Structure 1
Amino acid sequence: MTTLIPRDPYSKEELEKLYPRDLKLQLVQVALSHWELPETQRASGNQHGELTDKGRETTFELGQRLRHLYVDQLGFMPRVKSDTEDMYLRTTPIPRALESLQQAFWGMYPASARTQDFPPPVIVARSVSDETLFPNEGNCRRFRQLSKLFADRAALRWNDTDEMNYINSLLSKWMPENSPKVAVDSRPRLSGIADTINATLAHGPATKLPSEFYDNKIRQHLNKIAVDEWFSGYSESTEYRKLGIGSLMGDVVDRMVSTAVEGGWRSETSASGSSTEQGKAIKFALSGCHDTTLAAILNSTGSFDGNWPPFTSSIAIELFSKASRNSDAGVILEEFASPPIATKKSGFFSFLTGSSSSGDIPPPQSETARTPLTSLPESTRQTLKQYYVRIRYNDSPVRIPGCAAKLQNHLRGDDTFCTLDAFKEIVDKFTPKNWKGECVQNLDEGLYGKNDKEKAPAGF
């Protein structure tokens, strides 16, 4: 894992295959990861938690790529914006996540693409105790236990192996005298060493470590071991998925269901309070989060490729409906795309100055929020079967095994398009009913809970 090398923009032929004419894009939810800061650069001016200049550059370029696809190529979003009423912007409390979000937004909508009266956008930031944009082990006791159990298992599995012996043959001489052996649970931890190697490699000669740290074989071993320590729980345990990323994925699905059955997803955190029936439906969500967020999403849906996400990686979760025969193609002028806007509320903060709207209590949910698929009326389920979900990770569609396994669960001819009904069925299995309550259940019950009842593969 190091810096993402973006692929070229989709060709016309690729675009026609990826975005079929008989499907209409309805909602896009993008999660993007930030850059790590090498210790050597902290010593030369950057503060802990800040984004580096290289990080600002690459996240801005990510925003430019989003603009090229969703504005220039697809015409899904308008070329010029007068507000962000049809967007949802959110970040974790970590400063570099906010900065990454800012840069991506500016790349997507630079000053030349915003009107003069463009108001300061609202960015949602929850308190740390309620944060769901990253695996929140600091505020979930059971998840903290599970994380340690899987880390301990990784230590037992890897500390006395040929892979670890090879790592130590090159790196142990650079370790502290009181902790000369690299191990999963050493000080520094193996995952921390891997993180530092990747951060310094991405930032060029000024931050470089001795050459042994960049041995290709060492980097492969570090990736394999760190991925096992940090992410195997998502692949193996329903409870791990539920407590680590289930709340976020439940929100993602709720928004898509609202779009499908309620005429659009609306959020009270927009400047105009567009949760009212008069407000704009949200079309594009952009969230500044972390590499652990992306890996958790991919692992929990059974679509992880085994590699730690590179810096400035992104996931786009796209919702499509079956297009009507008389649907209009091309860009619709923004002012005619939605009903009139309700009167603006005051009290929101400008992300242009680095501040955000902090909501300790999430906004009221729709009538379908957190309703299990089995409790929805048959008419609603039939509607969900007319919508399709696709995940693109770093611009490549991923395959979800539970969707690909059955013809009725995916679009004919392309099993990366999952019916919303099937996608919700998969995510429902690891969506917590009460995250805080479940964080104090099953304490001391081992890796997979009592009688291994939580042991289950991801993506089905």
Structure 2
Amino acid sequence: MMILRILAVSCIYSWVASEFCGAPHPPLRETPKGLKLEMVQTIVRHGDRAPDRFIPKMEEPYPHWNCTLEQIVASVDITSRGHLKEIHRMFLVQYEDDVETLPGNCGEGQLTMRGYDQHLKLGAAFRKLYIDQFSLFNASESLSRVHVRSTDSKRTIQCAEAQLNGMFPPHARREKVKVHVRDSAKESMWPNEGICPAWGVRWNQIKNGEEEKKHEKEIQPLIDHLRNTFHIDTLPTWDANSSPELNDVYSCRRCHNFTMPSAIDDETFDQIRSAAEWNFNLQFTTDPLLVRLGTFRFLDELFQGLDEYVTDVKKEIKWYLFSGHDSTIGPLGASLGIFDGKWPSYASYINIELWSDDQGEFWVHFAYNGHLKSPKDSGCGGDGNPCRWKRAREFLKEKLATPEDCATSRGPFPLWEASDIKNGSTSPIKTDNMIGRTSSTFLVLAAILAVSLAQCNPPCGGGLCCSKWGYCGTGADYCGSDNGGQGGGKCNPACAPGLCCSQYGYCGTGAEYCGGNPPPPPPPPSTGDGGNNNGGDLTADQLRAVMENGQSYDYINDVNYVLNKYGLNTPIRKAGFLAQVRHETAGLTTFYQPLDGGAGAIHMLPANFRIACEDDDEIRAAFTQRFGSCRGGSDLEAGQLLANPKLAFLTGGWWMAQGSAKILGGPCGDLRPVLDQGTGSQNPLSGYYLVSRCIFGGNFDAGLAQRVRFYDLAKRVFNV
């Protein structure tokens, strides 16, 4: 059996292989004058591995990958708390020859012995620097002062083992070190749409944006050349939807000095490498908002470790090791302002060092691949200078977002909410990339400013008049005799019955709105027009109160038509339905979401358009007139059609009465009697909480709190 090649890579290539095949070890340096090393956080990428894919026709002559790595952990030997019980040598996993995807006995993406050795030596280099040189640990100290976390990947766990064995040789220790792992769906060490849906939305926008389209045109000659050379019609992914696959397989081959396909000369490889690196940076490092949303949870974990040590909350941990991927190093390095834009090499690493002085003040060093770096825009001074912790702390805090910033129901971002403004809170995300926090529509700053909130008493200035809807301007619409005028320099449209106007111009109840006075009593319920419409038709004033804005709503009759058609016209059903509509349409500011093609009053996804069309005669008539049938037209065209307000509300009414039962089934049946239960409970799901689940469609709804807040307001508007 062929022995795995661990040969030095030739330097004849125009691409300097060593830059990718392995990171340099940290050089020894003098202890900073007057400082003592207190704690270190190390974030590392896994070492050398086999390719994580195989591309027939484009890899001839095929290399024979052989893995002889005997140090491996048992993937089943994990405690209920996610800790590995053992990380010592256990057994050899060997893939059978010629029955795997890769020729040879390596699994796709499997760590090679070379990769294990890289971390063994890197750990030894860390030992020389941090233990021998800087005395981070005393000889008598226990390894209980080490915290190790890895992604739930065999190769990253193996790398953590190797790093520990290098820094703390097995013969010199007896303690067993736990490796903390998380389910990949909840992992924060890479940008994860599962824990920050807003990241996924932002990424979808960027990868479908003009920069990516421009880049695709620029590399089209390369794509055409490869297609013609290899006589194939379809290449691996080349746009920003994934890292280009050819770069991975060819880079792995070069790191092992395997023969390259004759068509892949130095120039062609450099072009492939450049295209891949461009896409890597597009996805992970160049857009400030995308970087923030993708890294803030992991960065907060690092920040808390530093802050707890400084404040004496938690001083027992002296060294943190986080074993991850290139998608860990790149985004984190970009967030810290120390990334160089090059694809992170195997075994690349970031170190965050915490130092103290004789006066009890703390300082921080940031290093990337052994080189001290001053974070960009941190105000910490030049490279090599320690950063005062107080300054570094503020710098790191500015990089953090909040869970609310990630809150997006099926993708779109939320608007600013009145409560955020009147409480004086601001998003950690700066205004040049601002997103809001309370609906499901992605809007950048200009769009946010264009959508006004429900205002009752904001002052008008500069000779402007206040309209009856509470907005300032000139002309008859603002200054006419029927527009309410101004009192005390403030607009004075009335709040909806039962609500008070706060000093900031928003309607609500409680001391913040009513100043300690009880709210005005609501009017007696309308007798309505008989039947099940015991709340009467929805008025434009009520709709404005629920949406908390001053829009004219000239389609109010269409809304009432749908409420009556689908039996949603009782006060409790109106409240529940319209609260969901507010959340899904950003307060009726959009009925179409271009990012995922969703449309209608409850942001229905394209897969369900045709089903609604077949069930609702009026939607069917509109589709037939426009497209010839329910199956005609593209999803884009269908979504734009359903953005018509009447059709939008018809889709929402259909979902509440029929669609939920047909599409989801189970507890998601006819949602109208579920609305009659009121708020209900989360365990077991009932009432409005169950309706929310049957609209959102998933287990974790980051916008649930907002849905409930909107519902509480709507119930007050309808006196239920």
Q: Please give the secondary structure, in 2, of the residue aligned with 1:145.
A: helix
Counterpart Cα distance in 2 of 1:93 and 1:32: 14
SS at match of 2:354: strand
**Does the Cα contact within 8 Å between 1:79 and 1:113 map onto a contact in 2?**
no
Correspondence 1:337-352 to 2 at 5 A: none
| Partner of residue 130, structure 1 | 186
Corresponding residue of 1:146: 202
CA contact (8 A) 2:42 2:321 kept: yes
Match of 2:300 in 1: 250
Superposed CA deviations along residues 58-112 of structure 1, whole A, max 9, x for unmatched, are 111111111121122222224576x421100110001111111111111111123
1:320 alignment partner, one of 355, 368, 376: 355
> CA deviation digits over 1:226-255, x for unaligned, max 9?
333333465554442232111111111111
Distance 1:173 1:96, change over 3 A: farther
* Equivalent in the alignment of 1:213: 264
Instruction: Show the 5 A alignment for 1:36-435.
Output: 36-38=49-51, 39=54, 41=65, 42-79=102-139, 83-114=142-173, 118-153=174-209, 154-161=211-218, 164-165=220-221, 167-168=222-223, 171-173=226-228, 177-179=232-234, 183-184=238-239, 191-205=244-258, 208-213=259-264, 215=266, 217-232=267-282, 235=285, 237-262=287-312, 264-265=314-315, 281-323=316-358, 386-404=361-379, 409-410=380-381, 416-434=385-403
Q: Does residue 26 of the first structure (1) align with residue 38 of the second (2)?
A: yes
CA deviation map 1:367-397 (0-9, x unaligned): xxxxxxxxxxxxxxxx8xx322221111011
Secondary structure, in 3 states, of the residue corresponding to 1:96? helix
Residue identity matched to 1:425: E
Q: Aligned equivalents of 1:141 and 1:316: distance in 2? A: 29
Work out whether residues 388 and 418 of structure 1, in 8 Å CA contact, stay in contact via their aligned partners in 2: yes
Instruction: Output the CA distance in 2 between the equivalents of 1:452 and 1:441.
Output: 20
The alpha carbon displacement at 1:258 in A equals 1.0
User: Which letter does structure 2 place at the counterpart of 1:77?
Assistant: F
Provide the secondary structure at the position in 2 that maps to 1:137: coil
C-alpha separation in 1, matches of 2:147 and 2:408 = 28
| In 2: Cα distance, 1:436 partner to 1:45 partner | 45
What is the count of residue pairs matched by the alignment?
356
| Identity across the alignment (%) | 20
Q: Is the 8 A contact 1:388 1:419 kept in 2?
A: yes
**Residue type of the partner of 1:393?**
Y
| Residue type of the alignment partner of 1:32 | V
Structure 1 unpaired stretches of 5+ = 266-280, 325-382, 455-460
The 1:211/1:150 distance shift into structure 2, 3 A limit, reads farther
Tell me the residue number matched to 1:371.
Answer: none
Conservation of the 8 A alpha-carbon contact between 2:236 and 2:246:
no
- What secondary structure, in the 3-state scheme, does the structure 1 residue paired with 2:20 have? coil
Q: Secondary structure at the match of 2:353?
A: strand
For the residue of structure 2 that corresponds to 1:101, the secondary structure is helix
Give the root-mean-square deviation of aligned CA atoms: 3.2
| Alpha carbons of structure 1 residues 73 and 442: separation in structure 2 relative to 1, 3 Å | same
CA contact (8 A) 1:168 1:181 kept: no
SS of alignment partner, residue 45 of structure 1: coil
- 2-side partners of 1:97 and 1:172: how far apart? 35
Give the letter for the 2:294 counterpart: G
d(CA) in 2 for partners of 1:69, 1:141: 40
In 1, Cα distance between equivalents of 2:125 and 2:193 = 33
- SS of corresponding position for 2:234: coil
Structure 1 residues 63, 429: CA separation in 2 closer, same or farther (over 3 Å shift)? same
Counterpart code for 2:345:
P
- Say if 1:3 and 1:202, in contact at 8 Å, map to a contact too: yes
Q: Residues 424 and 7 (structure 1 numbering): CA distance in 2 closer, same or farther, change over 3 Å?
A: same
Q: Which amino acid aligns with 2:185?
A: S
Matched with 2:661 is: none
The amino acid of 2:278's aligned partner reads D
Structure of larger gyration radius: 2
Q: Give the structure-2-normalised TM-score.
A: 0.45
In 2, the alpha carbon distance for the partners of 1:181 and 1:55 equals 26
Q: Provide the rounded CA distance (Å) in 1 between the counterparts of 2:346 and 2:225.
A: 25
Q: CA 1:254 to 1:190, structure 2 compared with 1: closer, same or farther past 3 Å?
A: closer
Whether the aligned pair in 2 keeps the contact of 1:231 and 1:299 (CA below 8 Å) is no
Q: CA deviation at 1:176?
A: 6.8
Q: Give the conservation status (yes or no) of the 8 Å contact 1:32–1:312.
A: yes
Runs of 4+ that moved beyond 6 A: none
Contact persistence 1:67–1:107 (CA under 8 A): yes
CA contact (8 A) 1:23 1:320 kept: yes
Correspondence for 1:376: none
Deviation at 1:135, TM superposition (A): 1.8
Q: CA deviation at 1:444?
A: 6.3
Distance 2:434 2:250 in 1: 33
The runs of 5 or more residues in structure 2 that have no matched partner are 1-18, 55-62, 66-101, 415-432, 436-442, 448-720
What CA deviation, in whole Å up to 9, does each residue of 1:297-326 have, x standing for no partner?
1111222212011111111111112235xx
Which whole-Å CA distance do the structure 2 matches of 1:210 and 1:73 have between them? Answer: 46
Letter of the aligned partner of 1:178 in structure 2?
D
C-alpha distance in structure 2 between counterparts of 1:92 and 1:284, whole Å = 18
- 1:246–1:430 contact (8 Å) kept in structure 2: yes
What secondary structure, in the 3-state scheme, does the structure 1 residue paired with 2:378 have?
helix
For residues 7 and 101 of structure 1, the distance between their equivalents in structure 2, rounded to whole angstroms, comes to 16
Secondary structure in 2 matching 1:160: helix
Closer, same or farther: CA 110–180 of 1 in aligned 2, 3 Å: closer
